Structure 1
Amino acid sequence: MFYLVLKDNICVSAVCKAWRKAAKSVRVVEKHPWVITFPKHDDLNILLDPLERKKYTLNLPELAGTDVCYSKNGWLLMRRSSLVDMFFFNPYTRELINLPKCELFFQAVAFSSAPTSGTCAVIALRPFTRFIIRISICYPGATEWITQDFFRNMTT
């Protein structure tokens, strides 16, 4: 319940007394985004809370030479500069979850839910030709990406 947005947290709290108590214990009314910086020359990252105007410095050597592809629910989907290694990283818990090698160039990439949820899927999209879009899917714990081509409907 911790990862639910406020609206969904309130909905599940109506199920029963036990769920109400659990939902209220993790409810965050004013959840707001933070900004994380990725320096080019050292391992010090800065977390910035823009509403509170506070900065926190973290030493995260795990992120050296990486780029953020996507973020959600406190998790970052990272890609090393080699463009092959992708992994999830939680800057708060420092948990790291590797994904299989991804040798595909992609136009967009995202993931559905926290990689620890059991329902997480990573989806990468890329145009292959003018008429074909290539979609690749991977799950935490998988050994390879599953790729499928889809034909674009070019009629307007």
Structure 2
Amino acid sequence: MAAWSDLTCDVLEHITSFLPLPDHYRFRAVCKNWRSVSKQMQHPPAPQLPWLVLEDDKETKNRKFYSLSEAKHYSLDVPELHGRYICGSSHGWLFAVDLKITGILINPFTRECYELPPLPAYRDCKCPHVTNLIEKVPSDYNGKPIGLTLEEIQPRIIFKAILSHDPKETSDFTAMILFGEMHRSAFWSPGDSSWTVIDGPTSSMDDILYFKGNFYAVSPNNKLYVVDFEPEPKLINVGPKIPFENGVESCGIQRYLIDFNGHMLLIERTYKVDQNAKCITDGFIVIEPKLEQNCYNIWCDIDGYALFLGRNACIYVDSCLLSTCKKNGIYFTHPNESLSPDEFGFHDFGVFDMTDKTMGTFHSVEVFFPHIDSPVWITPNPW
């Protein structure tokens, strides 16, 4: 019998096609031959659940990650992320901003990186609430700042960021961001010296999506917009006017856009007030806007898939291929933009079952509390 280290490349490549990310790294650590094969892998990786990107480890400064499929933490040394705030993920890449409001686009598993042009400062965003904080940062009776300092507030200028394409596959990609308290939109492509701000009939947006060659956005009043880049970038209202499907709002609604198997979906995340007077997630409603027919449909389930919502570009996976994933489940993280995590806490995580309309958990609350960064879902992309 041949030694395992002497297996031919085609056999080893076939084996790696069944491995999720953690096993892929274990595979490459066996010997030089296996490591070489793993680097030359040409086939798509095995289906895998997203990971959560957490905060820096205070002692090692490594970035902490949480593998949902293993219910296990990993600590990766990614110096480029040290001290940076994560404001989005897309195609396995992270958008990270530091205290000086300089941003990078980085794949944390390969450390490939793009330097981004300077981002607008909070002082320039015409945000009344933030202006008040700049003038006087809240403090306790001893004069100690409560929650975040001004320097810690500044990186949070980016509410969300997404990509049109995976930079590993093409250099012809575009990044789109929502920034400032009013969530204005702007874009950048490699070669541009600055971000281009987009004008529109409304400056506040809840989410953005790249769908079939265009960027779309959704506003708090459920209006859909498409980005028209020529001759001057602007937002144009498209599609049907979608009413609030949950009836009367309680704590409010957060909206997400997702490209789901070629369907554009608008997802309403509704909130309620709990016994501690905090706003927590109450449920989700999935809506399919039909742009050409100027109408919309309500979905009762998501065909056995699972969705992952947060500051990431929304992710979906086929739960039939991943036994540890809840069918028709919507996994969510805390979208809180509060400037005082000590007061509000990043506590609103869970999974919503669209079949029986129940709420569950996928972690222990102590795993994520307390910290500054709001955890972000990412699909590992080291290949």
Short-chain TM bin: 0.5 to 0.7
Counterpart Cα distance in 1 of 2:53 and 2:159: 23
| Corresponding residue of 2:188 | 138
Q: Report how far residue 55 of structure 1 moved.
A: 3.1
Which AA in structure 1 matches 2:75? T
Match of 1:49 among 34, 53, 67: 67
Counterpart Cα distance in 2 of 1:98 and 1:34: 24
Q: Report how far residue 126 of structure 1 moved.
A: 4.8
Say yes or no: does 1:120 pair with 2:137: no
| Corresponding residue of 1:99 | 116
Q: Answer with 1 or 2: which has the greater Rg.
A: 2
Which AA in structure 2 matches 1:112? S
Match of 2:55 among 33, 38, 41: 38
Counterpart Cα distance in 2 of 1:106 and 1:43: 23
Give 1:40-79 correspondences, 5 Å limit.
Answer: 41=58, 42-79=60-97
Q: Report how far residue 54 of structure 1 moved.
A: 3.6
Alpha-carbon contact 2:97-2:104 (below 8 Å) kept? yes
**TM-score, normalising length: structure 2:** 0.30
Runs of 5+ in structure 1 lacking a partner? 1-24
Q: Structure 1 residues 88, 44: CA separation in 2 closer, same or farther (over 3 Å shift)?
A: same
Counterpart Cα distance in 2 of 1:123 and 1:71: 11
CA-to-aligned-CA distance 1:17-52 (integer Å, 9 cap, x gap): xxxxxxxx5234522101222226341222322212
Counterpart Cα distance in 2 of 1:128 and 1:33: 28
Identity, % of aligned positions: 24
**TM-score, normalising length: structure 1:** 0.66
Counterpart Cα distance in 2 of 1:80 and 1:43: 14
| Corresponding residue of 1:12 | none
Alpha-carbon contact 1:115-1:140 (below 8 Å) kept? no
Runs of 5+ in structure 2 lacking a partner? 1-41, 122-156, 203-220, 222-240, 242-383
Equivalent residues, number: 128
Counterpart Cα distance in 1 of 2:179 and 2:102: 18
Q: Structure 1 residues 59, 128: CA separation in 2 closer, same or farther (over 3 Å shift)?
A: closer
Alpha-carbon contact 2:89-2:161 (below 8 Å) kept? no
SS at match of 2:105: strand
| Corresponding residue of 1:18 | none
| Corresponding residue of 1:109 | 161
